[in-house]
Amino acid sequence: RAKEKGKNHYQFYTPDMNETNMRRVLLEKEMHKALEKGGFESCMVVYQPQVNVATGLLTGVEALLRWDHRELGIISPSEFIPIAEESGLIVPLGKWALRMACLQNVAWRKAGYLPVRVSVNLSPRQFRDERLMGMIEEVLEETGMDPACLELEITENMAVQGADYFVRKLAELRSLGVQLSIDDFGTGYSSLSYLNKLPVHKLKIDRSFIRDLNTSVENAEIITSIISMAHKLNLKVIAEGVETEEQLNWLAGNGCDEIQGFLISRPLQAAQLERKGMLRR
Ligand code: C2E
Ligand code: MG
Ligand code: MG
Ligand code: MG
């Protein structure tokens, strides 16, 4: 999708878009600089709670990157992730984020908290990278992370290279003992009619369906069919972007397993999460 957008920018060239392109070039340069300095010190990983709908208890957290540039200020991942993706910098940056998330998880365990699952987003470029398996094994080994507590989020769009390849790749990842979930489910090009063949544990219903839940009968129907299909296949379902009690109640009444969203909490720094008492001993 990012690529397509990029093309449009060149097709409909306006002074305004020129500015967008200049910003892209600047951010890419700044990212390279951060990497050359031997790390991503200006980056940070924040964690958004995921809770069980029935019990209200924390089940996991999603690790989300933040970039706080000393001059440019906070840059949103929806702006810098696509740039990192196109330039290939997502490979080292994604590894850094995974490593940080694993180190934090191990630190929580050592501090006596109950095991908590951490979900880390994989980008299409990382997914295609032939060193992916080795990279994850290395990070698990080096950090002492329990693979069973690590969940990797992939998207439907990563299936573009064909169903067979996709299924094989997922099976390889799963053989590491990690959990797999399909992020932004329902927005991809593919209908994933072969969902029954995918070795994943969970579907994350995209925020757009949740947002329009109260105004769109179709969306409500899409969600109920995703939930019933997932449960038939023994998959868990989590809804992302839950902002209101109304949405939560509807999801609870329709069998959704877990939720994530501003209603529960915004993404927080590890120390904030501890202070709020969201982690349990
Ligand atoms: P995502 O993986 O679908 O992550 C969920 C996004 O929804 C996050 O945005 C989160 O802050 C936001 N969100 C959660 N609950 C709510 C809510 O109730 N309302 C609203 N309006 N938004 C909510 P964020 O952190 O800006 O990240 C955007 C995207 O950037 C992520 O979407 C993910 O695709 C990408 N991203 C972030 N960190 C990483 C990373 O470490 N690696 C990769 N490859 N991508 C990342
Ligand atoms: Mg995600
Ligand atoms: Mg998502
Ligand atoms: Mg999303």
For 140-189, write each residue's pLDDT tens digit: 999 999 999 999 999 988 888 888 999 999 999 999 999 999 999 988 76
Contact indicator for 121, 153 with CB cutoff of 8 Å: yes
Tell whether ligand 1 has an atom less than 6 A from the beta carbon of residue 1: no
Q: Whose atoms come closest to the Cα of 247: which ligand?
A: 1
- pLDDT tens digits along 88-117: 999 999 999 999 999 999 999 999 999 999
Q: Whose atoms come closest to the Cα of 119: which ligand?
A: 2
CA distances from residue 278 to 52, 97, 111, 150, 231 in whole angstroms, order as listed: 13, 22, 14, 18, 28
Pick from 57, 183, 164: nearest CA to 119: 183
Tell whether ligand 1 has an atom less than 6 A from the beta carbon of residue 188: no
Q: Say how many Å lie between the CA of residue 109 and the centre of ligand 3.
A: 26
pLDDT band at 1 (very low <50, low <70, confident <90, very high): very low
Whether the complex's predicted ipTM surpasses the cut of 0.95: yes
Contact indicator for 229, 259 with CB cutoff of 8 Å: no
Query: What is the largest distance, in Å, between two alpha-carbon atoms of the chain?
Result: 56
Pick from 53, 66, 80, 71: nearest CA to 249: 53
Task: Inform me whether the pLDDT recorded for 2 exceeds 50.
Answer: no
Helix (H) or strand (E) holding 242: none
Kind of pairing, strands 43-52 and 58-69? Answer: antiparallel
